[in-house]
Amino acid sequence: MSSEMLPVNEVAWQKKWADENLFKANLTGDKPKFYCLEMYPYPSGKMHMGHVRNYSIGDAVARYKRMMGFEVLYPMGFDSFGMPAENAAMSEGGHPHDITERNMASITQQIKRMGFSYDWSRTLKSHDPRYYKWNQWFFTKFFESGLAKREFAPVNWCESCNTVLANEQVKAGRCWRCNGPVEQKGMSQWFIDLPYYAQELLDGLESIKFPEHVKSLQRDWLGRSEGADITFQVVDSDLSFEVFTTRPDTLFGATFVTLAPEHPLSHQLVEGTEFETDWKALHDEVVNMSEFDRIKNMNKKKGFFSGRYAVHPLTGEQVPIWFGNFVIATYGTGGVMAVPAHDERDHDFAKMYEIPIKRVLVMSEGADADAPMNAAEVDDGWMVNSDLEGFDGLYGQEARDAVCNALESKSLGMRRVNWKIRPWLVSRQRYWGTPIPIIHCDTCGPVPVPEQDLPVELPRDVVFGQGNPLETSETFIHAPCPKCGGKGRRETDTMDTFMDSSWYFLRYTDALNDDACFEKPLADQWMNVDFYCGGIEHAQMHLIYARFMTKALRDLGLTSVDEPFKELLCQGMVNKSAPYCASCSVTHTVDRAGSPCPHCNQPLTERSAKMSKSTGNTVSPEAMIELYGADTVRLFILFAANPTAGMDWSDAALEANHRVMLQLQAMPEQLSQWKGEASSMDAWLVTRFKKRVHEFTDAMETYDLRRAVELSHYEIIKDINWYVRRGGENPDVAAGILPQWAQMISISTPHLAEEWWMELPERSESFAASSYLQSPQLVSDEEHLILAGEQYIRDFLEQARKVQNIAERHLGGSAASATVVLSPSWKREMARSALNFIHEGGHPKQFVPILAQMPMAQGERKGEMMGFWGKKMLPQVFKWDDESRQVILSSLDEKEVLEAASTFIASDLGLESVIVVEGESEDDTTERARSAMPLSPAIVYA
RNA sequence: GCCGGGGUACCCGAGUGGUCAAAGGGGGUGGAUUCAAGCUCCUCUGCAUAUUGCUUCGCAGGUUCGAAUCCUGCCCCCGGCACCA
């Protein structure tokens, strides 16, 4: 009984594993390597279900690979720099360092309670100077190579976080952390040249196994577009500017050009003219508008004429220069050629301000070049109305090439690939991050701190809450210039914490090295990460920065690795139902359950929603471990859904899984109490189990963890139940399957596996966790037949039960006996020749003449048989699975099998007797042979 | 608007041409066990039915001897990007 069973002492097993250093990776051994990694967590004080799911997946993979003979590197660490600790320090007092250390200690303990097989000896934390020293070292190298630069530029500023943000950290005009509005500010900031690797980042996506949607996300973010820069001279001046276009084929239709009001030339163009006031107004409006408001006002196109004209590079015509609020200063060149006939925005703009619209493409070959235009026609088309010879009639890419060639020969344009991705703004006006290792000197400018002076450590004498904290540290800011020795001032900005997480996976390969960031041979041998698991929320920040960094470090000569992660798995959300208003489409907090919707007063329903503190639908892992143990929580979380799918938390399902755990816990003892003899069923269970091991490894190889767990924790129990039902009770057989079974359950419920393992009379290793799973062998043909015979009985019983229900209604009471009518031999013969025919590539339709030639079809029943083929046998031939087909073609004798099992069948169906007869034979008095088919006999109850 | 992923029974969720009325789990149902509840085990869980037939995998068509699966069009959901020239 479950209540009498002692729970598994999980903590004791965890201690034993740790004492034995079981999971410490030996990076210089000769086993094949496997690097398994989860995205390292930010150390908030508490582990949440998302963590549990993430690590349960990773741990299952790590344990599996270890079992399969790989040396597995499976480390854990903390992304411990960042604003939450700093904000906590400000609101609650204390120091970010102490808060972080405290939180780390508490979450570490919770993670360890789950029994994950991490190599804790190489734990890293990004706020450790031994780690961030290398951030600084990389930065100085980037500075020297020009990859890191300080620039004055309009940047994203979040007022409430009091810092600048990278483009990637602005979501719909709002801060990714606090959701506050983001404004544009001109500031001098540090940038890293992400676009330098844009093409490689794009191409690299082809060679790595990332989920399709992550790749698509990254492609969007990189934003490659092919086009041309085209030069326009300003009339009556030496000035010229360039526009970027992806549609050079529409150049002849450019009836004006539009510049962003912030375009560097814009002020000069209007300075001292009547247009200056208008320009200033538009400029100020655009500059001061937060990106959020800008998106909101996206459709309100506004602009005005600058009073100046530009020269069309091919026709020499003069086209007016306009300013428009819809032109983005930082994309392309900050100016566009406006082709109202073939661009929707330009079309709207031209209509609004009555600028001529000139058709230069037609959408079907030879169409009317002067057809009126009611809307912009933006697709590729055939050139018309070109003002120069040699262009009309060209289409698409050919047209674009022709225009580009003409421009390039006049040096007024150039093909160019433009990227949406912009340099990575890495400086932050916050304290809790890596200090940027630069000293500003009045004579030498920004000078990197020399390697021997690294790390530049964070000072403790800072004041929080008054701007950039580092500026308040007197001990920090003053430093002599490393170059000239003169008076210098330290850079007070720190690095974006995404810098920390961009290379930590490399550091793990050599985490304790204080002389180098990592040894190249080690990193080369162990990279890339074979299996990387984490949340989708990092798809375009962390995963782009990390890929970038890997390439940048490679080019510093530190590794030979191109990509950090070979395969990425994004685990799904952990959800739980929460009150929901269907008519408002709003999820409410859990305390609203039972009351009506506060907006529309309708009763609330339930809907599954992401677990979150604000909704209140969270479940504490600690509480669940307390109740059921870590193994049960892990089993539930792996079994509830596929790793990538969203899963719903269900207390009922968790309990159900706990029952399975209890059942399994009792299993070795239960099996050891078997007292039976060897029986014909033994071979079946042994074979069946062999097949299960095979299926298990197949599932694990594709990271189909749900299926793997289903096999190890559910299917095998069912198999054993069947074996027992059929009279099997051989203790030797049980003892034979137990070791491998223990290994199978160890990937998801490792503590229970050790309990089993400990009881084994002969153990190859002291722990299940350190044992090797023998590679499964394929099931032989002979063994197939054993399985097939039993499968036949199971299928037969299922069918028999169905029929029995109906039959007993007819009989008006319980049936006492059954006559099993096997299919007549001619049906088997027909099936066999049809299967052979199709197997050899024959088309099912062509079997008819062959059947007509067969000896058995020559008698008076020919018509019946031909009809039977078309109506019954043809569909059935395809319904049989491969196994059934093999069985039909094999020597399996249905009669023999059923007769051997007839006692069992009778008792299982609650009958006194079961008789098996061959259909249409002398013994068959039932006249039911008509409905019997091979493998599917008719059953007559009486 | 563009890009990507989806829509399977009461719910979650397998399933990429025949093995499919459709795995597995949850829930429900009936039964065994029990003084009783829980636990555990078993049956059933689209409709009808002497073993078979009918209807069903977002909707509508098509290809095929055969479609949840392939093709075409449409609808809806989720995620991302978006005045990107």
pLDDT tens-place string over residues A53-79: 899 999 999 999 999 999 999 999 999
**pLDDT higher at A1 or A257:** A257
Confidence of residue A761 (pLDDT cuts 50, 70, 90): confident
Cα gap A141→A148, rounded to integer Å: 8
Q: How many domains does chain A have?
A: 5
- Residue numbers 795-824 of A with CB closer than 7 A to any atom of strand B: 798-799, 801-803, 805-807, 809-811, 815, 821
pLDDT score at A536: 80
Residue A543 falls inside a structural domain: no
Contact of A424 with A139, CB cutoff 8 Å:
no
Task: Name the closest residue (CA) to the C1' of nucleotide B5.
Answer: A213
Nucleotide nearest to A880 (CA to C1'): B19
Average pLDDT over every residue of A534-545: 86
pLDDT tier at A195 (50, 70, 90 boundaries)? very high
Tell me: do A290 and A259 sit in the same domain.
yes
Whether A244 sits with its Cβ under 7 A from any strand B atom: the answer reads yes
Please check the confidence at residue A581 and state whether its pLDDT lies above 70: no
Higher pLDDT, A291 or A230: A230
Whether residues A236 and A385 share a domain: the answer is yes
Q: Helix A882-889 vs helix A781-811: angle between axes, to the nearest 10 degrees?
A: 100
Cα A725 → chain centroid: 43
| Residue A200 forms part of a structural domain | no
CB of residue A160 closer than 7 A to nucleic acid strand B? no
3-state secondary structure of A63: helix
Stretch A310-316: mean pLDDT: 94
Q: Are A575 and A647 contacting, i.e. CB atoms less than 8 angstroms apart?
A: yes
Domain that holds residue A719: 666-779
Nucleotide nearest to A258 (CA to C1'): B85
The reported pLDDT for the residue numbered A231 is 95
Using alpha carbons, select from A246, A218, A270 the residue that is nearest to residue A333: A246
pLDDT of residue A147: 96
pLDDT, average across residues A494-510: 96
User: Residue A297's pLDDT band (boundaries 50, 70, 90)?
Assistant: low
Check if the interface score ipTM surpasses 0.90.
no
A86 in any annotated domain: no
Q: Which nucleotide is nearest to A882 (CA to C1')?
A: B19
On whether both A705 and A751 belong to a single domain, the answer is: yes
Chain B positions under 7 Å from a protein CB?
Answer: 3-5, 11-14, 18-21, 23-27, 38-44, 49-52, 65-66, 79-85
- pLDDT range class, residue A835, cuts 50, 70, 90: confident
A51-CA/B27-C1' distance, Å:
28
- For residues A60 and A638, the answer to whether their CB atoms sit within 8 Å is yes
Nearest nt by C1' to A334 Cα: B85
Distance A602 CA to B55 C1' (A): 36
Is residue A927 over pLDDT 60? yes
Q: What is the pLDDT of residues A821-831, one digit of tens each?
A: 888 888 888 88
Our measurement of CA A521 to C1' B36, in angstroms, reads 71
* Band of pLDDT at residue A845, cut at 50, 70 and 90: confident
Indicate the helix (H) or strand (E) that contains A308.
strand A303-311
A1: confidence class by pLDDT, cuts 50, 70, 90: very low
Q: Measured from the CB, is A337 under 7 Å from any atom of strand B?
A: yes
User: Helix axis angle, A731-746 relative to A716-725, nearest 10°?
Assistant: 170
* Dihedral sign, Cα of residue A91, residue A97, residue A101, residue A107: positive
Residue A600: Cβ within 10 Å count: 11
Nearest of A341, A309, A339 to residue A322 by alpha carbon: A309
Q: What pLDDT does A594 receive?
A: 67
Confidence band, pLDDT 50/70/90 cuts, at residue A3: very low
Rounded Cα distance, A637 and A713, in Å = 13
pLDDT at A338: 93
Residue A906 pLDDT > 90: no
* Angle ∠(A757,A759,A765) on CA atoms, nearest 5: 40
Per-residue tokens: A315: 């026709």
Q: What are the strands, taking DSSP E only, across A527-603?
A: 531-534, 568-570, 574-581, 586-587
Given a cut of 80, is residue A813 above it in pLDDT? Answer: no
Give per-residue pLDDT as tens, A415-458. Answer: 999 998 989 999 999 999 999 999 999 999 999 999 999 999 99
Residue A829 falls inside a structural domain: yes
Of residues 741 to 800 in chain A, which lie within 7 A of strand B by their beta carbon? 798-799
d(CA A819, CA A899): 11
Looking at the fold, whether A632 and A685 belong to one and the same domain comes out as: no
Q: What is the rounded distance in angstroms from the CA atom of residue A509 to the CA atom of residue A384?
A: 62
A343 and A400 share one domain: yes
Last residue of a domain, one of A736, A751, A779: A779
Q: What's the CA–C1' distance between A718 and B41, in Å?
A: 12
Q: Which of residues 698-737 of A touch strand B (CB under 7 A)?
A: 707, 710, 714, 718, 721
Q: Is the confidence at residue A99, as pLDDT, over 90?
A: yes
* A876 assigned to some structural domain: yes
Say whether both A919 and A807 belong to one domain: yes
Give the per-residue pLDDT at A2.
Answer: 36
Distance A840 CA to B68 C1' (A): 29
A926 touches strand B (CB under 7 A): yes
Distance B21 C1' – A684 CA (angstroms): 29
Average pLDDT over residues A38-60: 91
Do A835 and A897 belong together in one domain?
A: yes
Of A842 and A21, the structure prediction assigns the larger pLDDT to A21
A825 vs A929: CA distance, rounded Å: 11
Q: Give Cβ neighbours of residue A355 (< 8 Å, ≥ 6 apart).
A: A255, A256, A320, A322, A338, A340, A349
Q: Which of A401, A419, A437 is the last residue of a domain?
A: A419
User: Where is the domain boundary, A754, A779, A804?
Assistant: A779
Q: What is the mean pLDDT of chain A?
A: 87
Q: What is the pLDDT of residue A4?
A: 44
pLDDT for residue A244 is more than 80: yes
Q: Could you tell me the strand order of the sheet in which A424-425 lies?
A: A163-165, A148-158, A182-192, A424-425
User: Beta carbon of A223 within 7 Å of strand B?
Assistant: yes
- Whether residue A739 is contained in a domain is answered as yes
Q: How many CA atoms lie within 13 A of A5 on its CB side?
A: 18
Helices H, strands E: what count in chain A? 33, 32
Let me know whether A698 and A817 are in one domain: no
**CB proximity A245–strand B (7 Å threshold):** yes
Residue A547 has pLDDT above 70, yes or no: yes
pLDDT in tens, A115-163: 999 999 999 999 999 999 999 999 999 999 999 999 988 788 888 888 8
Domain match, A807 and A882 both: yes
Strand order in the sheet with A568-570: A71-73, A33-38, A531-534, A568-570
| A540 CB-to-strand B distance under 7 Å | yes
- Predicted confidence at residue A781, as pLDDT, reads 77
Mean pLDDT on A661-677: 84
Examine the pLDDT at A5 and tell me if it is beyond 70. no
Greatest mean pLDDT range, A67-76, A171-180, A688-697: A67-76
The answer to whether residue A838 scores a pLDDT higher than 50 is yes
Tell me: do A763 and A681 sit in the same domain.
yes
Per the structure block, which two tokens stand in for A698?
């197949």
A711 is a domain residue: yes
Residues A802, A899: one domain?
yes
Task: Say how far apart CA A530 and CA A670 lie, in whole Å.
Answer: 40
Residue A136 has what pLDDT? 98
Higher local confidence (pLDDT), A247 or A172: A247
Strand B neighbours among A 267-296, CB < 7 A: 295
**Range with lowest mean pLDDT among A174-183, A533-542, A731-740:** A174-183
Residue A132 lies in a domain: no
Q: What is the mean pLDDT of residues A568-588?
A: 73
Query: What percentage of residues in chain A have a pLDDT greater than 70?
Result: 96
Q: Which nucleotide is nearest to A663 (CA to C1')?
A: B40
What count of residues does chain A have?
942
Chain A residues 85-144, Cβ below 7 A from strand B: none
Cα–Cα distance list, A843 to A644, A758, A902 (Å): 41, 58, 39
Chain A 161..180 CB hits on strand B (< 7 A): 171-172
Does at least one atom of strand B sit less than 7 Å from the CB of A844?
yes
CATH number at residue A337: 3.90.740.10
Highest mean pLDDT among A235-244, A659-668, A831-840: A235-244
pLDDT single digits (tens) A864-882: 888 888 778 888 887 777 7
pLDDT at A482: 95
- Higher-confidence residue of A841 and A121: namely A121
Residues A759 and A799 in one domain: no
pLDDT at A554: 97
